Amino acid sequence: MSEIKASGYPNEDENVSKETQATNQQSLEEEIHNLRERLHTLQVRLQEEGGRPGKNSHETQTPAKDWDSVGHGLDKYMVERYSRQIILPSFGVKGQSKVSNGSVLVIGAGGLGSPALLYLSAAGVGKIGIVDRDCVELSNMHRQVIHTERSVGIHKTKSAKQAIMQLNSSIQVEEYTEGFTPENALEIVDSYDVVLDASDNAPTRYLISDACCVAKKPLVSGAAIGTDGQLTVYCHGDDGPCYRCLYPTPPPATSCARCSDAGVLGPAPGIIGTMQSMEVLKILSGIGEVFSKKMLVMDALYSRYMVVKLRPRSETCASCGKTPEITRDTLSSFDYCSFTGQASPSDAATPGLRLVDDKHRITVEDLVQRMNPKHLLVDVRPNHHFDICSIPGSINTPMTSFDASLVKNMFEEGSYEEISVICRRGNQSQRALLELHTIGLDNAVDVIGGMQAWSAHIDDDCPIY
């Protein structure tokens, strides 16, 4: 027998083995086919029932199966997929049914929106809208966990949709790449049950709140910067306040820091964004106590969490008061940039400050020509920024403790003939320059574009951060 086997003729055992393999392969193919059929059926049902714009999708249920005694409308695939949350007594099949037939609009696919989108899609929210006009950057990676390295340069809504479909292909996803504007706000918000604010600027926050007030949609709001964060729910219940109720006058533009300026530790927005997704699920399913009329304040660095009670809806609020100024007819014409004193987030490139005359400003190319032993280059970035990267020979005197007199003494004692001031982007250096001019250093100049321009045009090995 060994010679026969060696010659390549199969024995009886090998015939049985091949028959078994063929049977297993056929069973596997049939199972894959059945799963695809179930998935297709589910996608069609979600699009036809749970995903119609402007429809309160909670009201639509599929015909009950023989084993569905309460008429929750979930099929076998959905029950098995979401079983670990369905078996929660407080949630159950009714909660899952509402979530699967519900819809949420997530404005911002960044640090807050990323975890929120992942958990909402994993939980089976029937329809998810994603609003963002930006593309993925390498500096996003440490906190915007829905994106990958391969997503760099791709539109954030596209990248987020790809991640969602890989996680749960039964979800209906709508992309809004043009951003959220007064002109399109109500048309978009009207199509969803809940809105999740994951934006990062005051004009957009006021716009989102106003649109939710007009459309009567609950708004789950979150914010995170550095290692701090906060969470609340606006426009919920009979007397739940809106954003404008709490902040009728916008804060100074100088106090509205963004991650690109102030920095952020990745888990901070991750925690808040995850909690936002929890609030959305509670609102859609109708379980638990929603974070309305109270705000969670988080100090993650020292593990401190505090809940602050908020005042109810203001009767004099311009958005949700008794006689609102902002209505369905007026919202599109409201100037949120002028109101907040901040540049429009829809501007592709916001120009830098212009505090000094152009004759007192030089380019990075001019700076290269100036650099010699008789030239003093003053870097006014914070110490920890200077530690990241710096131009050889520059002196670090942070703007937070800038003393023009000390710089003048340094200039005179060192017998320097020229002085230039540089910062990160060319804004703080102008403020320092004004102080130097005030005390008589009229020949001082600042560098347009700062270290970012240096990295882009002179030393491409120097990081842009």
Q: How far apart are CA 460 and CA 453, in angstroms?
A: 10
Residue of 212, 256, 320, 423 with catalytic role: 423
Tokens 């995903």, residue located: 51
Q: For CA atoms 132, 135, 140, 146, give the dihedral sign.
A: positive
In order, the DSSP letters of 228-249 are: EEEEEEES-SSS---HHHH-SS
Residue of 213, 235, 256, 259 with catalytic role: 259
Q: How far apart are CA 305 and CA 197, in angstroms?
A: 21
Closest CA to 383 of 364, 399, 406: 399
Q: How far apart are CA 193 and CA 220, in angstroms?
A: 11
Q: How far apart are CA 128 and CA 164, in angstroms?
A: 10
Q: How far apart are CA 347 and CA 350, in angstroms?
A: 6
Known catalytic residue: 259?
yes
Tokens 């009950």, residue located: 64
Q: How far apart are CA 280 and CA 268, in angstroms?
A: 19
H or E element at residue 271? helix 267-285
Both tokens of residue 35? 């799963």
Beta-sheet strands, E only, within 235-339: 294-299, 304-309
Residues in Cβ contact with 178 at an 8 Å cutoff, skipping those fewer than 6 apart = 133, 184
User: In the 8-state DSSP scheme, what is residue 59?
Assistant: G
Which are the catalytic amino acids?
259, 423
